[in-house]
Homo-oligomer: A and B are copies of this chain.
C-alpha cells in the first residue's frame, strides 16, 4: 500500500507554498533538457542550471521552448525555476509534492496541469509517477519524478518533423504529452486484462485462497486507477472547454479526443470491476459448493456404514439365547442383508443425484 498514500505529515505546520519534496527520490541530481523548435529549426540541449535557460532563450527568440526536468528532489532548482517563469509558490509546492490529484489550473499567464503516469510491468504491481506540465506563452515546462522513456517518442516526432507537431504551438505540445500518458493507460489496461483472463481460467479449474488474494490485489489496482482517472477526466475536460488564449481553438478538438479516450478507459475499468465482482461471487459459491461435496461424501459413507456396523454389533452381542447365531446360513444371510441395505442406500443417493 505504500504507493497509494504519501507521507504528507512531514509538511504539517508549514506555510502553504513551503517547498518540501514529498515522494520518492530516484536520482541524486535532476536532469534538465532544453528543446527549442519551430517549423524550420530544432535544437536539443542538456543544461545544468535553469539560468542557462535564460541565456539560451535570449539568444534566439523564435519558436517553442520545452524545458523538461527529471527528478524533483532539488528544492533550490525549483526555486530558481519558479522565479524564472514567475510561478506561484503553490504551483511549485504541487510540482514537487507527488501526491497530487490530476488537475488543471489556469493562472492566467500559464496553465498548470498535473497527471499520473502509470506503469504496470507484466509481473509487477501498478506504480505511478507524477508528471507536471506548465503551458505558457510559447513554452512548455514538464517535470517528472525520474527519467523515463515517456517523452522519447514525442521528442522523436519533433526531431524528425513527423506529424503536425512542428507546425503547431505549445498547446499542441502539451496535448502530445497528455495524449502520450493517456495512451499508456491502455497498455496498463491490457496488462490488467491479461491478469483477469488468467485468473478467470484459474477460477474454473481450481479455487485456492490465493485466488481470492489475487482478486483483491486486482481490485485494489483498479481502485488506484479509478482514483486517478476521474480527476484526470475533469482536468482534460477543463482544457477542452478552456477559453484561455494559451490554447488555440483548433487544439480543443484534440483535447476532446483525449477526453473520449479517458471515458473509454473509465468504462473499461468499470467493466473490469464488475467482472472481478462476478469472479468473487463465483469464488464464494465455489467454496460453498465444495463444502456440499465434502458433506455429501461424509453423509454417504456414514449412511451406508452406520446401519451395517450396527447390524454387525447386534450379532456381536453375547446373549446366551440368540437363535440366529445357531442357524447354518445365519452368517451368510446377514451378509446378504447387509449387501441389500448398502445397495438400497446407493440407489437412494443416486435418486437424490448425490452420486
Name A residues whose Cβ lies closer than 8 Å to a Cβ of B: 1, 4-5, 7-9, 11-13, 15-18, 88, 90, 93-94, 99-101, 103, 105, 153, 157, 162-165, 175-176, 179-180, 183-184, 186-187, 189-190, 193, 196-197, 200, 206, 209, 212-213, 216, 219-220, 223-224, 227, 231, 253-254, 256-258, 260, 263-264, 267-268, 270-271, 274-275, 278, 280-292, 294-299, 301-303, 305-310, 312-322, 324-331, 334-335, 338, 353-354
- Which partner residue on chain B sits nearest A278 by CB separation? B216
Query: Is there an interface contact between A306 and B305, defined as CB atoms closer than 8 Å?
Result: yes
B303 with A306: CB separation less than 8 A: no
Q: Which residues of B contact A295 (CB under 8 A)?
A: 291, 294-295, 298-299
Question: In the complex, which residues of chain B have a beta carbon less than 8 angstroms from the beta carbon of A93?
Answer: 257
27 contacts between A and B (CB under 8 A): A1-B193, A8-B190, A9-B183, A9-B187, A9-B190, A12-B180, A16-B175, A17-B163, A90-B254, A209-B289, A216-B281, A220-B274, A283-B285, A287-B288, A287-B292, A288-B291, A290-B292, A295-B299, A301-B302, A301-B306, A301-B307, A312-B316, A312-B317, A316-B316, A318-B318, A320-B330, A321-B330
- Contacts A183-B13, A306-B305, A310-B308; is A319 near B331 (CB within 8 Å)? yes
Number of identical protomers: 5
Q: Judging by beta carbons under 8 Å apart, are A254 and B16 in contact?
A: yes
**Pair A220/B306 contact, Cβ less than 8 Å:** no
A200 to B308, CA, bound (A): 41
Least Cβ–Cβ distance between A106 and chain B, in angstroms: 11
Q: With contacts A15-B165, A288-B287, A301-B303 known, is A322 near B318, CB below 8 A?
A: yes
The answer to whether B313 and A260 touch across the interface, beta carbons within 8 angstroms, is: no
Report whether A302 and B310 are in contact in the complex, using a CB–CB cutoff of 8 Å.
no
B317 touches A315 (CB 8 A): yes
Chain B residues whose CB sits within 8 angstroms of the CB of A5 once the complex forms: 189-190, 193, 268, 271
A303 partner residues in chain B, CB cutoff 8 A: 297-298, 301
Q: Which 3 A-B pairs rank lowest in CB-CB distance, beginning with the nearest?
A: A312-B313, A15-B163, A13-B153
Output the least CB separation between A183 and chain B (Å): 4
CB-CB under 8 A from A260, the residues of chain B are 94, 100-101, 103
Q: Given contacts A1-B197, A8-B183, A317-B318, could you give 17 more A-B pairs where the C-beta distance is less than 8 Å? A: A1-B193, A1-B275, A5-B268, A7-B190, A13-B183, A18-B163, A101-B264, A209-B286, A212-B285, A283-B285, A295-B295, A298-B302, A305-B307, A314-B338, A316-B317, A318-B318, A319-B325
| One of B162, B183, B271, B294 near A227 (C-beta < 8 A) | B271
Min CB–CB distance A214 → chain B (angstroms): 12
